[in-house]
Amino acid sequence: MHALSYNFVGKNTNYGPENYPTRQDSTNLTTHGNACAGLAAGSRNTSIDCQPCGCGVAPDASIAVLKVGTVLEKTFSTTRPQSEMNTESLCTALAHRGDDIHIYSNSWNFEQQFHNDSCLHDVIKKRYYTGRNGKGSIYVFPADPPGNGLVNNIYTIAVGDMGVGGTLPDNPQVNSAVIVSMFASGRKINDTRLLTETHTGCIRNRFSPCQRNFRGQSAANAMVAGVIALLLQNNPNLTTREVKHVLVESASHIGIEQASAFKMNGAGKYYHKVLGFGYPNVKKMIMLSQNFTALRPLLSKQFKLDVAGNTATGVILSENINKVEQVEFILTFDFERNDNVSMEATSPDLTSSMLFENVIMPADKNTMKTKLITNHFWGEDPTGNWTLRVFSQHGTLYATIKVKEAHVLIYGTGNNTGSTTDAVHYIDGGNTSGTVDNVGSQHVNHILNATENKTDVNRNIIIGVVVSVIVIIIIIIIIVIVLKVRYIRYERLQKGNTAEKSEEELKTTQKMILSSSILVSKQLKDTESSL
């Protein structure tokens, strides 16, 4: 384990998982971190052979554990084992060594739709500007549930998951925050099982130290973190925003079952209401990163929309921003308790984006104030008429919804020489030149300051993978795993015909994402101490 490992619950370096040999139903919790870490950066036994449970996407990485949750034995009298965590521990872990940790991959999320946490938001926002010595910490999160504050912002990367063959996942949720999705049922597109790491207390058979039923958003999130690790190994100077651009520009939907459900926006980019821009095409990602042209500064401008009933509309005239990256809607609307609600936005290019669909609203309130982001308008010109519609899918179609207030916040780029009356806000210069005023409360700034310069580590590229349990309905255990990626030489891609066939492109992507196919020896060794 890496020197950065730490237990934020016990405030010590004992970061191992709990072990309850007599309660095998607890192992889904206690092995979750091991499985995610193995998928992201499971190492090789030799230069060519993987460990028994398979290599990770980025096998040349080492792992440090920042533990902020614990499985409680006292809960075993209930229907299922549970765990305990607190927000301060999580905030402190996410802020830990922001210049040394490059990627935080979070295989956990909130249970409740439209939920946010100010401490987490402020820490992530601050690190977007200051992490990695100004290039920005990279936070990767599962996209669901729709509307959650961890992904409905410009500071994080939201990941979806796909089923076997590129089908929809078992419980698909429409979510416009998704940037890319990963095959989450196996290491290849048609695999139905993932072989992943456990810890020693969970090994039931000395010939089988691996688990075979891990899948879903946790797995997808960990593998995308590994993909980003490969990207940074090739070009460690990419900013967080540039990483996001590479993901968008390289994503593909070729060869998957859901390919026909992708739509083309006004800028020629294909998107899916569940799967985002598709799966990461790693070969193309590496090619784009090799000679990446610095991005224009990110600008933003907010417009107020006129509201009438369940609809908000407005005409945007912006001389500065002529190419959209992300669009955020800030709105307040009334609804009937337990109503089934959907939200759709339409751009001047008549691109339709379903922000969420058929979400059951809370029973304890009838007004919602929220912020929602969509990537579906990426590359379009924002000038023209925008429409936002909130509606119920049952009963009288629009009668139960009333939009009280709505704004649209456009993030994008342009010529940066527009009229002084076209007031835009400079967000950053590709993460590097922006200044941040009043980011984070005094408490959050204290957390950020307290996490710096505690130990001496070298300055190699570091990937942080944050994992917890999202396979059950409540937030159960949160373990922050930080992966320190060593500098490795990347062989330059051979020059060849760029007009590759779609089948070859998909196969190449699978090979690079999976690093090396599972090489399971005939006699599997017992797993030694892991997470």
Task: State the pLDDT at residue 186.
Answer: 72
Task: State the pLDDT at residue 454.
Answer: 44
Q: How far apart are CA 24 and CA 21, in angstroms?
A: 6
Asked whether residue 462 is assigned to any structural domain, the reply reads yes
Instruction: Note whether 63 and 196 are same-domain residues.
Output: yes
Domain end among 428, 444, 477: 428
Instruction: Note whether 374 and 492 are same-domain residues.
Output: no
Asked whether residue 280 is assigned to any structural domain, the reply reads yes
Other C-beta atoms closer than 10 Å to the C-beta of 504 total 11
Instruction: Note whether 224 and 360 are same-domain residues.
Output: no
Instruction: Note whether 200 and 269 are same-domain residues.
Output: yes
Residue 468, strand partner residues: 478
Cα–Cα nearest to 157, from 381, 286, 326, 33: 326
Consecutive H or E run containing 449: helix 442-450
The tally of domains found in the chain comes to: 2
Asked whether residue 444 is assigned to any structural domain, the reply reads no
Instruction: Note whether 230 and 362 are same-domain residues.
Output: no
Asked whether residue 424 is assigned to any structural domain, the reply reads yes
Measure the CA angle with vertex 497, ends 493 and 500; round to 5°. Answer: 95
Task: State the pLDDT at residue 530.
Answer: 32
Other C-beta atoms closer than 10 Å to the C-beta of 391 total 18
Domain coverage including residue 408: 298-428
Instruction: Note whether 285 and 308 are same-domain residues.
Output: no
Are 347 and 382 in contact by the 8 Å Cβ rule? The answer is yes
How far is the first Cα of the chain from the last one, in angstroms, to the nearest whole number? 8
Q: What's 304's DSSP letter?
A: E
Asked whether residue 50 is assigned to any structural domain, the reply reads yes
Instruction: Note whether 321 and 398 are same-domain residues.
Output: yes
Residues in contact with 498: Cβ distance below 8 Å, sequence separation at least 6, in sequence order: none
Instruction: Note whether 291 and 308 are same-domain residues.
Output: no
The two beta strands, 425-428 and 298-304, are antiparallel
Q: What is the CATH number of the domain that holds 231?
A: 3.40.50.200
Per-residue confidence of the chain (531 residues) as pLDDT tens digits?
A: 567 888 888 888 877 666 665 555 555 556 777 777 778 777 766 555 656 677 778 877 777 777 877 766 655 555 666 667 678 888 888 898 888 888 888 877 776 677 778 888 999 999 999 999 999 999 999 988 888 889 999 999 999 999 999 999 888 999 999 999 999 877 778 777 776 666 554 444 444 567 777 778 888 998 999 999 999 989 999 999 999 999 999 999 999 999 999 999 999 999 999 999 999 999 999 999 998 999 999 999 999 999 999 999 999 988 789 999 999 999 999 988 777 899 999 999 999 999 999 988 887 788 999 999 999 999 999 999 999 999 986 655 555 789 999 999 999 998 754 443 445 566 654 443 333 333 344 555 655 555 554 444 433 555 555 544 322 222 222 333 343 433 333 344 444 444 445 555 565 555 554 433 333 222 223 323 333
Q: What is the CATH number of the domain that holds 395?
A: 2.60.120.260
Alpha-carbon distances, residue 187 vs 103, 319, 428, 499 (angstroms): 21, 46, 37, 26
Task: State the pLDDT at residue 107.
Answer: 79
Consecutive H or E run containing 384: strand 384-392
Instruction: Note whether 206 and 352 are same-domain residues.
Output: no
Instruction: Note whether 330 and 393 are same-domain residues.
Output: yes
Instruction: Note whether 495 and 424 are same-domain residues.
Output: no
Q: How far apart are CA 246 and CA 430, in angstroms?
A: 13
Asked whether residue 528 is assigned to any structural domain, the reply reads no
Three-state secondary structure call for residue 13? coil
Q: How far apart are CA 138 and CA 228, in angstroms?
A: 9
Asked whether residue 434 is assigned to any structural domain, the reply reads no
Domain end among 412, 428, 444: 428
Alpha-carbon distances, residue 243 vs 43, 235, 368, 498 (angstroms): 24, 10, 33, 22
Asked whether residue 473 is assigned to any structural domain, the reply reads yes
Task: State the pLDDT at residue 79.
Answer: 60
Instruction: Note whether 166 and 305 are same-domain residues.
Output: no
The pTM (predicted TM-score) of the whole model is: 0.81
